[in-house]
Amino acid sequence: MTESRASRPERTAGAAAKRAAKRAAKPVRAAGARARSKTATTLAAASKLATAPAYRHPNLGLPPIDVTSGHRDAAGKLRDGAARISAAALEAAIEADPTIRARFDEAGLRRLLHDGELLTERLSICVAGEEVRWLAEYADWIGPIYRRRGVPLGDLGSLCDGIRETVEPLLDTAERRTATRALDAAAAIFKRNGRIAGDRHKRNALWKWMYRGV
């Protein structure tokens, strides 16, 4: 009994020392975790800064968009050949979808030809600045105009496919990559906005019958 009672203070003192050591280690671990978190945040910020575009909106007090930081020579070729590219793109679109010729009269086809030139001019800006936003934003803006004209946005997506097919031989690998990204983004927007009510694309007969009068 005497030995047992005498050993208790030793055990109690040992446990107290362990608890004190743990309490002393906690701030060290917390400081280490904060340091690692701060380092990771700094690295992430540096990586984001390195991959960020070299321009920002001028209203934020930062440099304006530089539309000449990409492939200027290729953009000039696209801009100068816009009429020829548009004509070839329209032919490719009609070949892929022969109903286009049946759905549009001569005036409508001439308008589509002009639409192809506008898309090509926007594409040239994207290639010059190596940025897809200008064609993608344009595709998003013009939806209501073509809805009023009765032109399905899917036909503009077909024009984008025709433009891609036409300009590929004119561009090198890097230029072609930028042009393809811009045209794919525009075609995706045309496809998405073509699902909105009011678009003149041919609808499924079953759904049209089910929703008649709605």
pLDDT tens across 129-143, in order?
Answer: 888 889 999 999 998
Please tell me what DSSP assigns to residue 22.
H
Residue 78 makes CB contacts below 8 A (sequence gap 6+) with 85, 120, 121, 123, 124, 127, 167, 170, 179
The string of DSSP letters for 112-137 reads HHHHHHHHHHHHHHHHHHT-SHHHHH
Cα–Cα distance for residue pair 128/142, rounded to 1 Å: 22
pLDDT over threshold 60, residue 50 = no
Q: What is the pLDDT of residues 153-189, one digit of tens each?
A: 888 999 999 999 999 999 999 999 999 999 999 999 9
pLDDT of residue 6: 46
81 SS3 class = coil
pLDDT of residue 109: 92
Q: What is the pLDDT of residues 7-44, one digit of tens each?
A: 455 455 566 666 665 665 555 455 555 655 655 554 45
Instruction: Provide the b/e sequence for 116-144 (b: ≥16 CB within 10 Å).
Output: bbebbbbbbbbbbbbbbebbbebbeebbe
Please tell me what DSSP assigns to residue 65.
P
Residue 164 makes CB contacts below 8 A (sequence gap 6+) with 179, 180, 183
Average pLDDT over every residue of 69-81: 90
Q: Where are the domains of the chain?
A: 1-52, 72-193
Please tell me what DSSP assigns to residue 169.
G
- Could you tell me the two tokens for 145? 């105009």
Q: What is the pTM of this model?
A: 0.65
pLDDT band at 151 (very low <50, low <70, confident <90, very high): confident
151 SS3 class = coil
Phi-psi sector, 198: left (phi>0), alpha (psi -120 to 50), beta = left
pLDDT of residue 87: 95
pLDDT of residue 113: 93
pLDDT of residue 16: 60
Average pLDDT over the chain, rounded to an integer: 77
Burial, 186: exposed, middle or buried (Cβ in 10 Å; 0-12, 13-18, 19+)? buried
Give me the CATH code for the 72-193 domain, please. Answer: 1.10.490.20
